[in-house]
Structure 1
Amino acid sequence: MARTVLLTLGRMPKCLDLARGFHALGRRVVVAEPFAWHLCRASRAVAKSVRVPAPARDAPGYRAALGEVIAAEGVDLVVPVSEELLYVAALRDTLPEGVALHSPPQATVLELHDKLRFAQKIRALGLPAPETHSADSAAARALAARTPVVLKPRNSCAGLGVSFHGAGALPDGAFPGGALSSDMVVQERKDGRVLSSFSLVAAGRVRVTSVYRGVVMSGTVAVCFERLEAQAAIERFVEEFSAKTGYSGFLSFDFVEAADGSVTAIECNPRVTSGIHFLEAADVARAIADPGGDDPVRFRPERLMQQFYPCLIEAEAALFTRKEPGLKWRALRSARDVTWDRADPLVFPTMTFTSYPILVPAIFKGKSMAETATEDLAWREELPMDTPEPA
């Protein structure tokens, strides 16, 4: 097992879960983070935080800085957490001997992150996916004319740039000659309940799958979420996908569940999502450090979890918008905060300060917290392109 673990992000609660999990195993945890202050910096689980360039602004400098941290700190396990994974995965072939990277190859990560290529891959595997086309194609025009659709960037994160349109209502700019045509997809809009999954997978073997739904949303991102049991259709999907691809790493999907219980995968996130909060942190860390092991990854007793401050903002806003104020205030009162731990008490009360790089742009520039948390991590390099669809 690893002695020093490098987490390549520290600003999000899911990073905190990983830090606490590895610390519980007796591992030394180092965090590399573009922000000078971040959530994990206040945690007792973190031995050292190192500031590095933001990958979306200086990808070569970011990778070089990670290499320096790995060498200086004696790191032997690197664990990417969120969107920075797209950059970190490129280090696989350059890491020193004896240093493990918990990530699929970069080509796999980019394929799953690309909304068009993911849909094409799922269909090729014989698994259910909505009809999806490049926005600059004749097939996209035909799809949008006959059915409600979702318009989204091929390379989006945190639900940014997603819009919903009725049949025949898609803006002309999404098609050839329009400003949106270069990197957008048009996807068939499915009706039903939106569910999400988070899994740990090793060489095609699923160690655990956590299925959950958003209870309180900030835009399209859940800030209060509930774990669900007996989701056999989703668990079968994850098992089949993992076995057919031999996947290893974090694996997360968004699904739409129809009235008959069938599910359709609408997006894939090859990274950590909020489903990790329902798992015992030390078990997750053990499964990462020993991917061939058989120790169980247990669920925590809590079924309803929240990110307190974003949830509070949504509850306060509901007093003025009148959008489900009762539900949001009930969730705020009853859900367990994902950061609170009496053995690591400074994280929760210092969140307003340590999260100021996210909060300040959100408050003064009118951006969502999801956007400010990921804009310096989002993929900016060229995506591998598939064969274009006929225009």
Structure 2
Amino acid sequence: MTTVLLTLGRLPLALDLARGFSRAGCRVLVADPFGRTLAGASHHVARSWAVPPPATNSAGFLAAIAGIVAREAVDIVVPVSEETMHVAFLRDLIDARVRVLAMPPDQVIALHDKAGFVRAGLAHGLSVPASHPLGTPQAHALAAAGAVVVKPVFSCAGRGVRIMPAGCTLPDCDTAAPAIVQRFIAGHEFSSCSLAHEGRVLATMVYRGTAMSGSVAIAFERVEHPGIADWIARFVAAHGWSGFIAFDFIVDAAGLVWGIECNPRVTSGLHFWEPGDVARAVLNPTGHAPVRVRRQRQLQQFYACLTETQLAMLRGRGWRDRLARLLTTRDVTWDWRDPWPFLSMIVTAWPIIRMAMAQRVPFGEVATRDVGWYDHNATPDVAAIAGNTLRS
């Protein structure tokens, strides 16, 4: 039996992956800084562990994951979200036979880097907005000419992103937290999720957010957009990419597709695929079995949408549309064959709820704060980690 380790369990993405791998005949394990998680509540998960948070203790996180891989004879390690940038360093700490579903760290971090992604897009002849480092004359000229977006080089869930009008005064440059200034593209926003193997796209899902919590989509609608799918296929082929990769796009009034960000990991588009098909495609990427699409065109994260509906009721506006969507849209976690993750979500999500309340920010913006990659100087000393692991 193949043993699969998911390196995050708190998100609905992890639950879909756990169910899929289990139904494909695998033994599924979960590691997460929160010992009790959404995916861990599923009967499809054999065992869960609490591990150090990689955002503040990447070395401890990697050592813990490597230990689980060795003790449990793990065959495949599958990162789930923002911890992907840390998991990419795992290869040198584990047996070479173990497959890590992530590209090498230099490639992963280069695309997680907002400036690095723009450079890659330009190198491949793909449409990306003009972007320059904050604090440079080119950035000031870009802001003088039109509206711009200022975004940290390393961020997720829209944290720190600001849209600023033409002629604005740009914020001061912070060398400890570099940022870019990017031309603002007006148009319709779309997101994607793709699974690829050695430069060949196995499946692509394009979707758009229909309800938001802060800057994070909590309800989604799948769409068909051949132009976006072609953009993705060209990028994946140019990089020889294997594993999950995702992008955010703007399609302007002329229909031109602009890639504005890359997420070298799984995103919410995963929910629109049949979980077992995704698992089988990961297990046998050279096969040609199709990854089928679920029949639902719209999905939601129920509890997050419930919270936003309640807030709209308190504000006295927009709540009727939110309530109608809440009552008619399928939840991403509910499965009558595996009901406990949905029923226990308030308990398993409590650490995130507590942080959101304490920091007064939306749930989605804190859900991955402790696992992300935010520091360009954060590269872990893999040799030291390996030495400490051997001594222990």
Instruction: Assess, with a 3 A threshold, how the Cα gap between structure 1 residues 185 and 70 changes in structure 2: closer, same or farther.
Output: same
- 1:180 deviates by 7.4
> Which deviates more, 329-338 or 79-88?
329-338
Instruction: Assess, with a 3 A threshold, how the Cα gap between structure 1 residues 258 and 273 changes in structure 2: closer, same or farther.
Output: same
- Unmatched segments (≥5 aa) in structure 1: 386-391
| 1:151 maps to 2:150 | yes
Corresponding residue for 2:282? 288
Distance (Å, rounded) in 1 between the aligned partners of 2:271 and 2:88 = 23
| 1:179-198 map, 5 Å | 179=174, 182-198=177-193
> Which deviates more, 355-364 or 194-203?
355-364
Instruction: Assess, with a 3 A threshold, how the Cα gap between structure 1 residues 323 and 112 changes in structure 2: closer, same or farther.
Output: farther
Residue 223 of structure 2 aligns to which amino acid in structure 1?
A: L
**2:74 partner SS:** coil
User: What is the number of equivalent residue pairs in this alignment?
Assistant: 379
| 1:164 maps to 2:149 | no
**1:30 partner SS:** strand
| 1:97 maps to 2:91 | no
| 1:30 maps to 2:61 | no
Corresponding residue for 1:321? 315
| 1:255 maps to 2:254 | no
Instruction: Assess, with a 3 A threshold, how the Cα gap between structure 1 residues 182 and 54 changes in structure 2: closer, same or farther.
Output: closer
- 1:147 deviates by 0.5
| 1:199 maps to 2:194 | yes
1:361 to 355, 358, 362: 355
Residue 61 of structure 1 aligns to which amino acid in structure 2?
A: G
| 1:228 maps to 2:223 | yes
Residue 236 of structure 2 aligns to which amino acid in structure 1?
A: S
**1:53 partner SS:** coil
TM-score, length basis structure 2: 0.93
Contact between 1:81 and 1:271, CA under 8 Å: does it hold in 2?
yes
Corresponding residue for 2:386? none
Contact between 1:20 and 1:45, CA under 8 Å: does it hold in 2?
yes
Corresponding residue for 1:243? 237
> Which deviates more, 49-58 or 257-266?
257-266
Residue 218 of structure 1 aligns to which amino acid in structure 2?
A: S
Instruction: Assess, with a 3 A threshold, how the Cα gap between structure 1 residues 327 and 259 changes in structure 2: closer, same or farther.
Output: farther
Corresponding residue for 1:298? 292
**2:111 partner SS:** helix
Corresponding residue for 1:388? none
Distance (Å, rounded) in 2 between the aligned partners of 1:115 and 1:381 = 13
| 1:379 maps to 2:373 | yes
Residue 340 of structure 2 aligns to which amino acid in structure 1?
A: L
Distance (Å, rounded) in 1 between the aligned partners of 2:346 and 2:175 = 36
Instruction: Assess, with a 3 A threshold, how the Cα gap between structure 1 residues 179 and 243 changes in structure 2: closer, same or farther.
Output: closer
TM-score, length basis structure 1: 0.94
Contact between 2:214 and 2:365, CA under 8 Å: does it hold in 1?
no
Instruction: Assess, with a 3 A threshold, how the Cα gap between structure 1 residues 180 and 71 changes in structure 2: closer, same or farther.
Output: closer
- 1:316 deviates by 1.5
Contact between 1:136 and 1:181, CA under 8 Å: does it hold in 2?
no
Distance (Å, rounded) in 2 between the aligned partners of 1:129 and 1:46 = 40
1:300-331 CA distances to partner (integer Å, 9 max, x unpaired)? 11111000111111111122335533332222
Distance (Å, rounded) in 2 between the aligned partners of 1:182 and 1:356 = 30
- 1:97 deviates by 3.0
Distance (Å, rounded) in 1 between the aligned partners of 2:221 and 2:83 = 26
| 1:13 maps to 2:12 | yes
| 1:301-312 map, 5 Å | 301-312=295-306
Distance (Å, rounded) in 1 between the aligned partners of 2:223 and 2:255 = 14
**1:371 partner SS:** helix
Contact between 2:151 and 2:161, CA under 8 Å: does it hold in 1?
yes
Residue 275 of structure 2 aligns to which amino acid in structure 1?
A: A
- 1:136 deviates by 1.6
How large is the Cα RMSD of the aligned pairs? 1.6
Distance (Å, rounded) in 1 between the aligned partners of 2:310 and 2:220 = 18
**1:133 partner SS:** strand
**2:286 partner SS:** coil
Corresponding residue for 1:142? 141
Corresponding residue for 1:124? 123
Contact between 1:78 and 1:99, CA under 8 Å: does it hold in 2?
yes
- Unmatched segments (≥5 aa) in structure 2: 380-392
> Which deviates more, 363-372 or 152-161?
363-372
Instruction: Assess, with a 3 A threshold, how the Cα gap between structure 1 residues 159 and 314 changes in structure 2: closer, same or farther.
Output: same
Contact between 2:154 and 2:374, CA under 8 Å: does it hold in 1?
no
**2:340 partner SS:** coil
Residue 19 of structure 2 aligns to which amino acid in structure 1?
A: R
Corresponding residue for 1:113? 112
> Which deviates more, 269-278 or 374-383?
374-383
**1:227 partner SS:** strand
Corresponding residue for 1:218? 213
Residue 60 of structure 1 aligns to which amino acid in structure 2?
A: A
Distance (Å, rounded) in 2 between the aligned partners of 1:162 and 1:347 = 32
**1:47 partner SS:** strand
Distance (Å, rounded) in 2 between the aligned partners of 1:324 and 1:133 = 38
Sequence identity of aligned pairs in percent?
Answer: 45
